[in-house]
Homo-oligomer: A and B are copies of this chain.
């Protein structure tokens, strides 16, 4: 088997997802929208983000289909929009919970975790875990093996294709 570095770095589901949402502000906007912070002014105030940066992040998230925009109008005011996670956006919850679990473990102060995530149905605390199809729980430091999948791309091949296009 070829080494990992023989495969194209960008042809990777981690790289592709990071190209879409792999920056701090985008992930914090997703966190806030997931937590019910839905309006532009409220997001800007809570995050302390420049309004032009917030607008560009929301536009990108909306265009990518991760966030849905809905119009609302308060009495006497002009129409505004609020934002909600789409279904694909809600499927990013494991990413956010995994970041949170790591931070709770390694970056929380002596007072403990800043927030607790519970199952809305039963109130039980949530954890993120890696399991395998054989039913094994992989624990905190999982032993993983990565193999090329059907959509893998060997680097030299990609270079060759770029060459043909040029």
Which residues of A are in contact with B by a Cβ distance under 8 Å? Answer: 3-5, 7, 9, 11-20, 22-24, 27-28, 31-32, 35-37, 42, 45-48, 87-88, 90-109, 111-136, 138, 140-153, 155
Q: Min CB distance, A68 to chain B, in Å? A: 14
B27 touches A22 (CB 8 A): yes
Count this chain's copies in the assembly: 2
Interface of A (DSSP majority class): mixed
> A103 is contacted by which of B13, B28, B153 (Cβ under 8 Å)?
B13
8 sampled A-B residue pairs with Cβ under 8 A: A4-B32, A4-B36, A5-B37, A13-B99, A93-B142, A116-B147, A117-B146, A122-B134
State the CA gap A111–B12 with chains docked (Å).
13
State how many angstroms separate the Cβ of A82 from the closest Cβ of chain B: 13
A27 to B40, CA, bound (A): 28
A47: nearest chain-B partner, CB-CB:
B9
A117: which B residues are within 8 A, CB to CB?
A: 144-147
Query: Once bound together, how far apart are the Cα atoms of A128 and B137, in whole Å?
Result: 10
State whether A132 and B136 are in contact (beta carbons under 8 Å apart), knowing that A13-B102, A103-B14 are contacts in the complex.
Answer: no
Q: In whole Å, how far is A118's beta carbon from the nearest beta carbon of chain B? A: 5
Given contacts A19-B24, A98-B95, A99-B18, contact A4 B37 (CB under 8 A): yes
- Determine the distance from Cα of A99 to Cα of B17 in the docked complex, in whole angstroms: 6
Min Cβ gap A94→B in Å is 4
**A141 CB contacts on chain B under 8 angstroms:** 87, 90-91, 93
Complex contacts, A100 vs chain B, CB 8 Å: 12-14, 17
